[in-house]
Amino acid sequence: MRVRQLTAAAAALLLSAGLGGCSDDQGRGPSPAPTRAEPTATTGDVRAADRGAVRDGGTLHWALDGVPATLNVYQRGAGADSALLAHALYPSLFRPDEHGRLVPDPDYLVGAESTPPGQQPQVVTYRLNPQAVWTDGTPLSAADLSAQRAALSGLDPAYRGGPAAGYEAIDSVAQGADPHEVKVTFRRPYAEWRALFGPLYPAAETATPAAFNRALTGTGHLSAGPYELTRYDEDGGRVTVERNPLWWGDRPKTDRIDFLAAPPERRLDALDQGRLDVAPLTAAVDRAVPPPAPSPSAVPSSSPSPSAVPSPSSSGKGGSATAAAPPEAVPEAAVLALRRAESLPGVTVHRAAAPSLTQLTLNAARGPLGDPAVRQAVARAVDRRSIAEAALGPLGLPGAPLGSHLLAGDQEGYRDDSAAIGPADPATLLDGAGWKLMHGGTRTKDGKELALTLLVPGGSATARRTADALAVDLGAFGIAVTTRAVPADTFVPEQLADGDYDLALFSWPAGPSPAVEQRAAYAKPRPDADGTLESRGNYGRSGTEEIDRLFDRAAAELDPAARLDLLQEADVRIWQLGHSVPLYQRPELVGVRTGVVGAGAFGFGWPRFQDVGWSR
């Protein structure tokens, strides 16, 4: 399971690109009536092969942003690289399928069953695989689950990792009928229990605050995956895993995987030079830097065609030449980087829609957006389909718009709830709110213009394309938009948290536990003791008691269909509130060397490392 916290580090990853929504042919009319639909597409794009077609042996080189500060994904210093390595080294009792549904991983779990809805207390009985052992030969047991629950429940402040969703709902963990049976009793019904204990760490790493609080780095730690850690070289930028000799499942195909620190800006060079076999490329493409402009001396004064030597503009989208010829368009740096990736010999670029929901958030605690009618007008004015096409089309992905705040388009239970904002024309809503458009240009009220700031992550080509399209959409209805780009590392703690903006563009992760994991993003802000209204993760700063209750009921609803109904009802209310506008799913681009199978853009899933290797 991924750790769903929008920390500054996570934001740097999530802000790189956007996700999609839907609208009618005009982009502003009502969407079709909400209907539940089974997912029709998958997020993953992975080159798969029968294990018999994968040769035994060899080494694989896989790119990381850097050697992670910890392998414990529940610690504050953890990031995406921590999670990737954890999937090779530690158990997850359940793993997501291509539609985000959690299914038991038979390497670790024979089966699991919860008491039926309405029966109290809720007890989940896990049957652990008797063959599953830590690298010291000790079987996985109730002691491991119990220690992890104690560390993550939030009951003991000495544990500094921060509580993880769901563990606070557990009342007790105990051995069942034999050492391989574990019974987990909940103090209140908890619908998303399958997301717990993934990854699972050995009790030795979680049983005491001292053990849990230390960074999980270096070799010598217990693990229980198809691979074990044999090298952890922070200075050299290398983490090496090799076959676990006690592994009981399918034999890993590759002898060794070297995870190498390769900053995004260097990954295309590393792929080109054969130093990497698997390399995530989303940031490398999205944040590519334009090539330097040629110096004036590079263009001879007698050149008959000065327009053939364009100079990139500051935006990276246009070019200029001498006064003797009109400017010529120059592809933006991101497009050039993608073209280069696609042209690398022996490398395939895999594309997928990531389980991450890009949205336009409206700050209800500031200026005109405090009026629900203005927020609803903004939501109606946004042409989500054209924005998705502008954001994703240059990356070779379909411009699929998104219609839910809580679920990805290919996730089980997804439906487009955008019709909930109603059919009213944005101009009519703004007129009714007192914002008048006299002679074109920007609307005014009481002598003030309807001018909004749009906060975007700096350096992201996808965010810039999205912002440009948003400004056009809103400008058509007399809403002036000024885009403000800020560094990703300050975007959350110094911008979103402070609320110094009107509109903000960023992404939330979409996971298997939306009732718990996404509640904070939409929970009604509460005043502190001094009366200060704290967002506590709700950066739109609007919410209702009804929405809070719907999330709470969904989190406690053990019937899957009833739980989805509650989530979709919450989504409808969020649309009606004008809290935010879902746009599209963040793109995922991964370069994979020819001959490597079992790797690519994983979408909801993660690598099954024992199947990754070289084709015969």
Model confidence at 29: pLDDT above 50: no
Give the lowest-confidence range in 152-166, 227-241, 401-415.
Answer: 152-166
Model confidence at 64: pLDDT above 50: yes
Structure confidence at residue 161 (pLDDT): 82
Model confidence at 307: pLDDT above 80: no
Structure confidence at residue 269 (pLDDT): 97
Share of the chain above pLDDT 70, in %: 86
Model confidence at 22: pLDDT above 50: no
At residue 39 the predicted structure's pLDDT band, cuts being 50, 70 and 90, is very low
Structure confidence at residue 427 (pLDDT): 97
Model confidence at 190: pLDDT above 50: yes
- 410 φ/ψ angles, rounded to the nearest 5 degrees: -110, 20
> CA-CA distance, 40 to 416, in Å (whole number)?
14
pTM exceeds cut of 0.95:
no
How does the average pLDDT of the chain come out, rounded? 87
At residue 296 the predicted structure's pLDDT band, cuts being 50, 70 and 90, is low
Of residues 16 and 287, the one with the higher pLDDT is: 287
H/E run at residue 230: strand 227-233
Burial class (CB in 10 A: 0-12, 13-18, 19+), 326: exposed
| SS3 per residue for 276-319 | CCEEECHHHHHCCCCCCCCCHHHCCCCCCCHHHCCEECCCCCCE
pLDDT (tens digit, 9 = 90+) per residue, 67-121? 999 999 999 889 999 999 999 999 999 999 888 899 999 999 999 999 999 999 9
Structure confidence at residue 450 (pLDDT): 97
Structure confidence at residue 293 (pLDDT): 64
Structure confidence at residue 32 (pLDDT): 28
Model confidence at 10: pLDDT above 90: no
At residue 35 the predicted structure's pLDDT band, cuts being 50, 70 and 90, is very low
Model confidence at 311: pLDDT above 90: no
Structure confidence at residue 165 (pLDDT): 84
Give the lowest-confidence range in 149-153, 327-331, 557-561.
Answer: 327-331
Q: State the CATH class of domain 70-217.
A: alpha beta
At residue 25 the predicted structure's pLDDT band, cuts being 50, 70 and 90, is very low
Mean of pLDDT values over 246-258? 98
Taking the CA atoms of 374, 379, 466 and 26 in sequence, report the sign of the dihedral they define: negative
Model confidence at 401: pLDDT above 90: yes
Name beta bridge partners: 186. Answer: 170
Name beta bridge partners: 505. Answer: 360
pLDDT (tens digit, 9 = 90+) per residue, 472-526? 999 999 999 999 999 988 999 889 999 999 999 999 999 889 999 999 999 999 8
Structure confidence at residue 533 (pLDDT): 67
Query: What residue segments make up the domains of the chain, in order of their start?
Result: 70-217
Structure confidence at residue 528 (pLDDT): 77
Mean of pLDDT values over 405-414? 93
Distances (CA, A) of 210 to 54, 161, 204, 221: 43, 11, 11, 15
Give the lowest-confidence range in 404-418, 522-536, 588-602.
Answer: 522-536
- 415 φ/ψ angles, rounded to the nearest 5 degrees: -150, 155
> CA-CA distance, 144 to 157, in Å (whole number)?
20
